[in-house]
């Protein structure tokens, strides 16, 4: 599919739940958020029909996300059905890693190709400070398990936050010297308000680059294959790679190739815009004559050229990341 700005849209981020077993301060409030009820969430059958339609239209990669996708019952079976689609899209998943130690082998056997693990600190006390829950040792065991299971190249997503964990950038970067992992540093995004961190806590991509540069020479890695948002580097003695994702300061909208579908069946054309297209009514026969393909094409046609963060009239969206599907 081509959008109005000539971009090829071949990547779908599919959220399977808005629930989560952590409460990261930049994503969710302490009390959680009123979860969607059972009838509001798309069933696996419905999610599969969305994926089928998207694959028929040329989507080549589907990332399963949430909320925390590993907390939804039956996720392994769902992954195996996605992997069995006739177009064989690549199936990947983003997780906080808490359930990985247990599930990595079965996820791999189900046909998952790779995994991204979100981790913002390597210190136990801080883990609790950021996520409001315990669990660092579980996540670390999950990383090893994913590696052993062959869910590789393993990617770790870290969001540096000023005054909270920016002093750990070097420790995370060091992981790429010892492991063939890709550690990606993502700028904190002001996706919604009412969270503990504000735009002032953003640690910019330029500051991240500076911190990485202090640890060693950064050798740029030219892009191969479809462009992604990360600018990639490695240290001369590194086994793995470093990625910097300037989500806010240097938007990569010109290379955006994605659509998002929320767990309650709305297509989002841009992370930072509230525009949504209702798929659920069509899935449930409540919009007769409207096909999923038509709605997906409409969404592609309506993708905005770029986000407006940092501009005077920018307004936060009303959904938080865990409701959008980060
Ligand atoms: N629960 C899974 C996880 O944490 O990986 C998947 C969903 S989570 C919403 C997806 C990603 O969004 C995580 O890597 C998380 O760090 C990131 N995220 C959430 N809120 C964010 C924010 N305000 N700015 C930057 N990244 C954010
Ligand atoms: Fe949960 Fe992921 Fe949001 Fe953290 S970032 S609260 S793990 S959905």
Q: What is the pLDDT of residue 311?
A: 62
Helix (H) or strand (E) holding 62: strand 61-65
For the CA of 320, the nearest atom of ligand 2: 3
**Which residues, including other chains, have CB under 8 Å from residue 104's CB and lie 6 or more apart?**
115, 142, 145, 146, 148, 149, 151
Dihedral angle sign, alpha carbons of residues 84, 88, 89, 91: positive
Q: What is the pLDDT of residue 194?
A: 66
Q: What is the pLDDT of residue 247?
A: 80
For the CA of 23, the nearest atom of ligand 2: 6
Q: 11-323 maps to which CATH number?
A: 3.20.20.70
Q: In the chain, where are the structural domains located?
A: 11-323
The closest of 268, 300, 294, 270 to 282, measured between CA atoms, is 294
* Tokens 């309506």 found at: 302
The closest of 199, 227, 322, 312 to 271, measured between CA atoms, is 322
Among the bound ligands, the one closest to the CA of 68 = 1
Half-sphere exposure of 34 (CA within 13 A, CB side): 2
What tokens appear for 266 in the block? 């709305």
- The full DSSP string for 74-114 is THHHHHHHHHTSTT--EEEEEE-STTHHHHHHHHHHHT--E
Q: How far is the CA of 186 from the centre of ligand 1 (A)?
A: 9
Ligand 2 site residues (CB inside 6 A) read 20, 22-24, 27-28, 66-68, 96, 118, 321-322
| Tens digits of pLDDT across the chain (326 residues) | 998 889 999 999 999 999 999 999 988 888 877 888 889 999 999 999 999 999 999 999 999 999 999 999 999 999 999 999 999 999 999 999 999 999 999 999 999 999 999 999 999 999 999 999 999 999 999 999 999 999 999 999 999 999 999 999 999 999 999 999 999 999 988 776 667 788 888 899 999 999 999 999 999 998 766 557 889 999 999 999 999 998 877 667 888 889 999 999 999 988 777 789 999 999 999 988 889 999 999 999 998 888 766 665 555 555 667 666 66
Q: What is the pLDDT of residue 274?
A: 78
Q: How far is the CA of 35 from the centre of ligand 2 (A)?
A: 14
Distance CA 256, CA 305 (A): 9
Q: What is the pLDDT of residue 15?
A: 97
Distance CA 7, CA 276 (A): 19
Q: What is the pLDDT of residue 118?
A: 98
């Amino acid at each position: 599919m081509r959008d109005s700005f000539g971009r090829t849209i071949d990547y779908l981020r599919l959220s399977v739940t808005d629930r989560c077993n952590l409460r990261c301060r930049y994503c969710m409030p302490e009390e959680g958020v009123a979860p969607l009820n059972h009838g509001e969430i798309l069933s696996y059958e419905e999610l599969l029909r969305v994926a089928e339609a998207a694959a028929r239209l040329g989507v080549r990669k589907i990332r399963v996300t949430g909320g925390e996708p590993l907390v939804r019952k039956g996720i392994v079976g769902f992954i195996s059905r996605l992997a069995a689609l006739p177009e064989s899209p690549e199936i990947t998943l983003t997780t906080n890693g808490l359930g990985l130690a247990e599930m990595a082998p079965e996820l791999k056997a189900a046909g998952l190709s790779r995994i991204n693990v979100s981790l913002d600190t390597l210190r136990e006390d801080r883990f609790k400070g950021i996520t409001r829950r315990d669990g660092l040792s579980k996540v670390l065991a999950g990383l090893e398990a994913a590696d052993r299971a062959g869910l590789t190249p393993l990617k770790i997503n870290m969001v540096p936050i000023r005054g909270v964990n920016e002093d750990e950038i070097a420790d995370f970067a060091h992981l790429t010297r010892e492991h063939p992992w890709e550690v990606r540093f993502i700028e904190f995004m002001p996706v919604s308000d009412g969270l503990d961190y504000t735009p002032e806590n953003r640690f910019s991509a330029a500051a991240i680059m500076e911190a990485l540069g202090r640890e060693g020479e950064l050798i740029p890695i030219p892009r191969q294959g479809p462009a992604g948002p990360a600018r990639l580097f490695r240290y001369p003695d590194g086994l793995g790679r470093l990625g910097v994702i300037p989500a806010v300061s240097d938007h990569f909208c010109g290379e955006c190739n994605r659509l998002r579908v929320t767990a309650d069946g709305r297509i989002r054309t841009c992370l930072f815009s509230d525009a949504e297209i209702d798929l659920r009514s069509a899935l449930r026969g409540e919009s007769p004559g409207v096909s999923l393909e038509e709605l997906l094409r409409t969404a592609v046609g309506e993708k905005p050229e770029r986000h407006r963060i940092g501009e005077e009239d920018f307004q936060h969206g009303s959904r938080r990341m865990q409701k959008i599907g980060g």
